[in-house]
Amino acid sequence: MSRQSKLNIFVFAIFVLMLLFSYLFFQGDQKPDKRIFSLESHDVKSIKINYIDSPSNIHIEKSTGGLWEFRKLAEFNPSSFSYMRPSEWKIQNILRILATEYETQIPSLNVNPIEFGLVNPRVILELNEVRIVFGDVNPLIKKRYIQVGDTIYIITDRYYKHIIAEPLQYISLSPLEGKQGIEEIDLPDITLRKSKNNGSWLVDSMVKLSPDQVNTFIDEWKFSQALSLSTTRPAQAAKFSANLRTTDGQAYQFDIFLTQDMFILGVKQSGLFYHYPLDAGKRLVKPALENRE
């Protein structure tokens, strides 16, 4: 029997003994405190994910306004960060690790961390000043080893998949995530501009739009959610282009691509391509398409 197999059996025996101990001595209302972290998710201001031997490191910070912003995202140019937002869903899934409870804890001084995959780990997560090293999975109990400080813990493996996700999965699928509002949209044959006097929409269009249709059209842009993201430009030429300006003065330039079953919205400033179901995507440019189909 190999040394690694013996170690796995040893850890499994500790795990079983810990479960038995908990059952025998904590059957009443009293439960042992098995939380690893005192840090609460709402107090986290910085998230760093460091991949060993890879340039795809990620750094996300919470701004003074409470919005998450990229400081580093793999090999993306920092100049594009204001045109993309971190995925709130992805962040919340990562922060849930702070509430996890350990199955077993092992002082690292008593064992060799290399046996648990903790010396050259694939990924290290940092939440503020808390450093979490992710090691191997114990094949017998299907739980993962992590190291925090001088202690090795065995925890559920549900968090690891979120942390090692591709960098694109950290980007929100909503192109205007975090933006408070829209000031202007310019499509072929239609321009919508918010009045500086009363906030109403001024419409210059070959297609007649009612106030309700205008509001619906604006909401389609504000709340649009793509199915997926890519950095690969479609092979075919763009159907047409569009321009948009938000209330904070940021200008977006879009290229619109239509395939047989997909609507693709390309953001020139970020190099991202948002993929929508064809019908959902067409609602973003419906007035322009009505004059071109």
Which two structure tokens, joined as six digits, stand for 145? 């080893």
- Cα distances from 102 to residues 37, 138, 151, 169, in angstroms, run 10, 14, 11, 27
Average pLDDT rounded to a whole number, residues 206-234: 89
Question: pLDDT value at position 56?
Answer: 76
pLDDT in tens, 174-211: 999 888 789 999 988 889 898 888 888 888 876 777 88
The yes-or-no verdict on residue 227 having pLDDT over 80 is yes
The yes-or-no verdict on residue 26 having pLDDT over 90 is no
Check residues 161 and 14 and name the one with the higher pLDDT: 161
Backbone angles phi, psi at 140, to 5 degrees: -85, -35
> What is the rounded distance in angstroms from the CA atom of residue 59 to the CA atom of residue 50?
9
- pLDDT band at 15; cut points 50, 70, 90: low
The yes-or-no verdict on residue 288 having pLDDT over 70 is no
C-alpha angle 222-225-229 in degrees, rounded to nearest 5:
125
Q: Is 235 exposed, middle or buried (0-12, 13-18, 19+ CB in 10 A)?
A: exposed
pLDDT in tens, 47-83: 999 988 776 799 999 998 889 999 999 889 999 999 9
Annotated domain spans of the chain: 3-23+33-170, 182-290
Greatest Cα-to-Cα distance within the chain, rounded to the nearest angstrom:
80
Give the closest residue to 41 by CA, choosing from 100, 99, 87, 90.
99
- pLDDT band at 112; cut points 50, 70, 90: confident
Average pLDDT score over the chain: 87
Question: pLDDT value at position 52?
Answer: 80
Question: pLDDT value at position 226?
Answer: 96
pTM of the model: 0.83
Question: pLDDT value at position 264?
Answer: 96
pLDDT in tens, 263-277: 999 999 999 999 999
